[in-house]
Amino acid sequence: MNIETILSNASVIPVIEIPNLDVVSELVAALTGGGLKVIELTLRTDCALEALSTMKAQAPDLFIGMGTILSEDDVEKSIDAGADFLVTPGASLSLLAALKSAGRPALPGVATVSEAITAIDAGFNALKFFPAEASGGLPVLKAIHAVMPNVSFCPTGGIDAKKATDYLALPNVPCVGGSWIAPKNLIANQDWNAIEHNAKIASALK
Ligand code: 3PG
């Protein structure tokens, strides 16, 4: 499995912060019931690693990435938990090397052309563009496509369902990421119907 295959299975990757393990089962049911095949958990809560393992056991066919990876230690812990792919918000040379040697599909984060060149040099040609909207959004990705047409981006940060359509129309954007499908408030309220509804809309986007 490579990162291109994972990205081709998703127009939208929901970025999800898990508050506790009690929500995992119904959350996975809502996301997969809405037709999603790829999701990203953030390594921002204490239960994130255990949540990933629990989700993989419940839905083995769901591709689950671990995001917010900041260090080599995070890379190792995420692989041990069973992450199908690894996502970072940015990247140092040592983090890029750790992702490469981990041998797991990975989406290193970049926000500038120079950062993209550094990641390409390290052997990556699919990158997370983060924070997408705050970093210039669509016009930046259009300009980057002109100089590096073979590099794909998953823009994330400040994107909603409406903006997602505009990003997905770009030739260098196979998918977008965002928290709007399963935001913290809907998870806290255990509003699984709303999450499944958002997932259906997201999985229908092209
Ligand atoms: C991420 O971790 O990728 C972002 O926090 C998601 O950004 P959003 O909440 O603006 O969608």
The two three-digit tokens of residue 88, written as one number: 């970072």
With a cut of 90, say whether residue 130 has pLDDT above it.
Answer: yes
Q: Which atom of ligand 1 is nearest to the CA of 44?
A: 2
Please count the structural domains in the chain.
1
pLDDT 10s digits, 67-125:
999 999 999 999 999 999 999 999 999 999 999 999 999 999 999 999 999 999 999 99
Enter the pTM of the model.
Answer: 0.96
User: How much distance in Å is there from the Cα of 156 to the middle of ligand 1?
Assistant: 6
Q: Go through 121-159 and write b for each residue having 16 or more CB atoms within 10 A of its CB, e for each that does not.
A: eeebebbbbbbbbebbbbebbeebbeebeebbbbbbbbb
CB environment 77-97: b (16+ within 10 A), e (fewer): bbeebbbbbbbbbebeeebbe
- Rounded Cα gap, residues 55 and 63, in angstroms: 10
> What residues act catalytically?
40, 128
Backbone angles phi, psi at 63, to 5 degrees: -80, 120
For residue 179, give the amino acid letter. Answer: S
Q: Degrees (nearest 5) of the Cα angle 103, 104, 108?
A: 105
Residues with C-beta less than 6 Å from any ligand 1 atom: 15, 42, 67-68, 130, 156-159, 177-179
Mutate to test the pocket of ligand 1, among 12, 45, 135, 179 (most ligand atoms within 8 A of CB): 179
Q: Identify which of 93, 91, 161 has the alpha carbon closest to the alpha carbon of residue 127.
A: 91
Ligand 1 centroid – CA 97 distance (Å): 24
Q: How far is the CA of 157 from the centre of ligand 1 (A)?
A: 4
CB distance 90 to 111 below 8 Å: yes
CA–CA distances in Å: residue 145 to residues 79, 129, 135: 31, 13, 15
Pocket test for ligand 1, best of 42, 88, 156, 198 (most atoms within 8 A of CB): 156
Q: What average pLDDT does range 12-20 have in this prediction?
A: 98
CATH number at residue 83: 3.20.20.70
Q: How remote is the CA of residue 80 from the centroid of ligand 1, in Å?
A: 24
pLDDT digits (tens, 9 = 90+) for 85-100: 999 999 999 999 999 9
Task: Identify the domain containing residue 151 by its residue range.
Answer: 3-204
Q: Give me the interface pTM, i.e. the ipTM.
A: 0.92
